[in-house]
Structure 1
Amino acid sequence: MQNIPHVPVLYTQVLETFSDIKEGIIIDCTMGYGGHSSMILEANPHVKVIGIDQDQSAIDFSTSRLEPYKDRVEIKKGRFSCVIKDILKEHDKREIKGILADIGVSSLQLDQKERGFSFSSENLDMRMDKDAPLSAATVINEYSNKELQRILLEYGELRNYKKIASFIVDNRPFSSAKELSEAIKHLMPTGKKIHPATLLMQAIRIEVNDELGELNSLLDTIEEARFSNTKIAIISFHSLEDRIVKNRFSKWRENCICPKEAMRCTCSNDYSYGKILTKKPLTAEDEELRANSRSRSAKLRVFETDIQLER
């Protein structure tokens, strides 16, 4: 029997979000170990799931894990920002009733130390797709001081980004995540319940995998598709991602798209894409927090589209 390594974050909240979907397709943009997909398939017996992942290890694992549901599962390899466009070419968008995205590094990738995501990893990789050309080693050992400053400020929101960038440049090359996180520890923020190098590693990982670009591209595709009665559920793990989702959902909710400085409304005032179902993001409850520390920073926001499609 396959060893199931973990329970996905916010699983009860995700199941509740999609509980009223009786048929159609739910797209799991970040399939990982297949945890959310398997639970959705079990709870919604007439729903089909299309799972996406760029990591072949995840594809192999989930293909086996989801074997009992093989008649209702389709698995695609690639970046979700691209693959979802292919799905829309293959399926009538009326069939798409739910879209789930669990943004960021997966438990599968964190658990495999050779992937370089862990602070104790003996290498410096961080690629979600092992065939991708850009790795953390390239970023740390080859980026200019100015380029390092950019990612440390934009993706790590580190106040002393200039000092950290200079330290990296002056002391490289670094060969492992462990070596880097230990060397830089004295320059990192203290007093939080996280590893001192967390924000540094976050910034590098986002750069390597273009995570914010992927998220924005996914939201652009959803916006352009103009789905009808589709639930969009996005789990984020840090403020940069959550801010993007929150702002985009707020935009989708608005009827009027006139500039704020306009004296009066000159648009048709009917541009709303739907409604926000989560006034505040859903977070892990005490029981889940005790069982899975990784759920501590997870936030789930849900939007439901509500437009009329011509038939």
Structure 2
Amino acid sequence: MQNIPHTPVLYREVIETFKNIDGGIIIDCTMGYGGHSSMILEANPNIELIAIDQDQTAIDFSTKRLEEFGDRISIRKGRFSSVIKDIIAEYGVEKIRGVLADIGVSSLQLDQKDRGFSYSSDNLDMRMDKEATLSAENVVNEYSTDELENILLEYGELRNYKKIASAIVNARPFASAKELSEKTKHLMPHGKKIHPATLLMQAIRIEVNDELGELKSLLQSIEDSEFCDAIVAIISFHSLEDRIVKQTYSRWSKNCICPAEAMRCTCSRDNAKGKILSKKPITAQDDELKENPRSRSAKMRIFHYER
């Protein structure tokens, strides 16, 4: 195995998920440092892999890191929800055998303080794509109180979202994540293993990058494609993402699509797109939890798309 800056989460479980794929293309929707991509290419010598990332820094790093795999690896820049449509149109559904998405901020982005993802950063940015127009600074300093309340409640699931939103509005403008964290820490939940500002940063980051919208669009693109035989594995890091994946997989696995209020089934009862391979979310093993704290909240769900 190559020496990589950070071992990707659920690395053994990802390798196990795709181990029986002996040809075709696997799409890594969230390349980052290229850890998952590298491991999949090593474990599956007969497959090709297309990796997607919207972060040019990640692309520059991983292009060099993955060059040893030659023409077996192709890297595309952009949001995975749209790029995957282009890939499917280019290669056809028959050739796509696997899709992996590690949703959320990457270790590469967290490691770079100037990207503004950390509560200790000296700026407010949080853009996964540096060319995007909306930044954390825009959200924190320009959103109305109502808009801030909505994202703090929906994306951060913070109970005292009204007080936090009011405190932000009254104390702005903010120039750094560090300043924002300090000015609001007295309102944040304490006593957990995570930093008090984590949920606040999470809510702002999700808004800046439209992360839930991206996930929904990715799942819709997969659904629209009607894959013939493909493994879909989604790794999420909080309940909002996991709920979307769980509900989508459940819908994909149903034979009957008649409305709940129907007196009797009138559909063909053969509408299932495949089967769920993980009845419960797959989580990190004890040794990984000790080595990589980020894996603590990682959950992977797997679906076998077969039509």
For the aligned pair, the TM-score class normalised by the smaller chain equals over 0.9
Q: Which amino acid aligns with 1:65?
A: R
Q: Which amino acid aligns with 2:234?
A: I
The match for 2:10 is 10
- The equivalences for 1:183-202 within 5 A come to 183-202=183-202
TM-score by length of 1: 0.97
Distance in 2, matches of 1:233 and 1:266, equals: 32
The match for 1:173 is 173
Distance in 2, matches of 1:140 and 1:165, equals: 9
SS at match of 1:93: coil
The match for 2:210 is 210
1:304 equivalent to 2:294? Answer no
The match for 1:278 is 278
Distance in 2, matches of 1:190 and 1:251, equals: 37
Distance in 2, matches of 1:69 and 1:24, equals: 15
SS at match of 1:94: coil
Offset, 1:7: 0.6
SS at match of 2:25: strand
- The equivalences for 1:133-152 within 5 A come to 133-152=133-152
RMSD: 0.9
The match for 1:253 is 253
- The equivalences for 1:1-311 within 5 A come to 4-307=4-307
Q: Deviations over 1:263-297 (max 9, x none)?
A: 11111111101000001111000111111111100
Offset, 1:191: 1.5
Offset, 1:183: 1.1
SS at match of 2:117: coil
Offset, 1:4: 2.9
SS at match of 2:121: coil
Offset, 1:3: 7.3
Distance in 1, matches of 2:4 and 2:17, equals: 24
SS at match of 2:109: helix
SS at match of 2:262: coil
SS at match of 1:110: helix
Residue identity (%)? 72
SS at match of 1:51: strand
Distance in 2, matches of 1:235 and 1:104, equals: 9
Distance in 2, matches of 1:179 and 1:5, equals: 29
Distance in 1, matches of 2:101 and 2:173, equals: 35
Distance in 1, matches of 2:197 and 2:183, equals: 10
Q: Deviations over 1:161-200 (max 9, x none)?
A: 1111111000001110111111111101111110001111
Distance in 2, matches of 1:160 and 1:192, equals: 16
Ranges in structure 1 where 5+ consecutive residues have no aligned partner: none
Distance in 2, matches of 1:130 and 1:3, equals: 27
Q: Which amino acid aligns with 1:217?
A: S
Q: Deviations over 1:21-74 (max 9, x none)?
A: 000000000000000000000010010000000000000011000011021001
Q: Which amino acid aligns with 1:219?
A: L
Distance in 2, matches of 1:173 and 1:144, equals: 13
Distance in 1, matches of 2:157 and 2:290, equals: 28
Ranges in structure 2 where 5+ consecutive residues have no aligned partner: none
Distance in 1, matches of 2:40 and 2:226, equals: 24
Q: Which amino acid aligns with 2:65?
A: R
Distance in 2, matches of 1:3 and 1:64, equals: 13
How many pairs were matched up? 306
Offset, 1:229: 1.5
Distance in 2, matches of 1:70 and 1:63, equals: 10
Would you identify which runs of 4 or more consecutive aligned residues in structure 1 move more than 2 Å?
none
Distance in 2, matches of 1:297 and 1:121, equals: 22
